[in-house]
Amino acid sequence: MNPEKLIFEGARFNVHQMELTGSDGKTYVREVIRHPGAVVLLPLIDLDTVVLIENQRPTVGETLLELPAGTREAGEPVETTAARELIEETGYRAGKLAKLHEFYSAPGICDELMHLYVATELSAGDHQREAVEQIENHVASRSQVTRYIAEGKIRDAKSLIGLYAFLYSPALSK
């Protein structure tokens, strides 16, 4: 393992400096984000209908059309995070949660591992959004999702991964 030094400790992630030895024998310093991991949810009302969110993202200065997602709390089981984030962001509760896949969000700079869960047997309820979250639910059919992707209306990587699973996974097809 390469030596690392903590250079920033944040509420949701830390930044470390890592030393790497290049093929030329020289030492190079890179900054990396150490993240506790996250979930992304594919909430299905039925096999043709998914719950998306319109999420105001100050980081990029846009409101993005996304799948609900969120960061794991320290020591929190992934399925607990999935159930909590679904309620927080959409108000829906899942009768069933099934892990579909996991992937790294940006492995060139970050170790965040995202866990994609399919949420089914949904029941509507009140959301529990954080005060800084500006989110609205957006229910969409398969044909609408296909159109949104083709028109470039969905630009968030985790959402694209989850929605391609929605569109093309044999386990999620009609």
- pLDDT digit of tens for each residue in the chain (174 aa)? 567 899 999 888 999 999 999 999 999 999 999 999 999 999 999 999 999 999 988 889 999 999 999 999 988 999 999 999 999 999 999 999 999 999 999 999 999 999 999 999 999 987 766 666 678 899 999 999 999 999 999 999 999 999 999 999 888 876
Residue 60 burial class via C-beta count within 10 angstroms: exposed 0-12, middle 13-18, buried 19 and up: exposed
CATH 3.90.79.10 boundaries in the chain: 38-172
Architecture of domain 38-172: Alpha-Beta Complex (3.90)
pLDDT, position 11: 86
Instruction: Please choose, from the candidates 77, 68, 72, the residue with its C-alpha nearest in 3D space to the C-alpha of residue 156.
Output: 68
Q: Do the Cβ atoms of 163 and 146 come closer than 8 Å?
A: no
Can you tell me which residue has the tokens 């310093």? Answer: 29
* pTM greater than 0.85: yes
**Could you report how far apart the first and last alpha carbons of the chain are, in Å?**
46
Catalytic sites, residue numbers: 133
82-103 as b/e, with b when 16 or more CB fall inside 10 Å? bbbbbbbbbbbebeebeebeee
Chain mean position to CA 130? 16
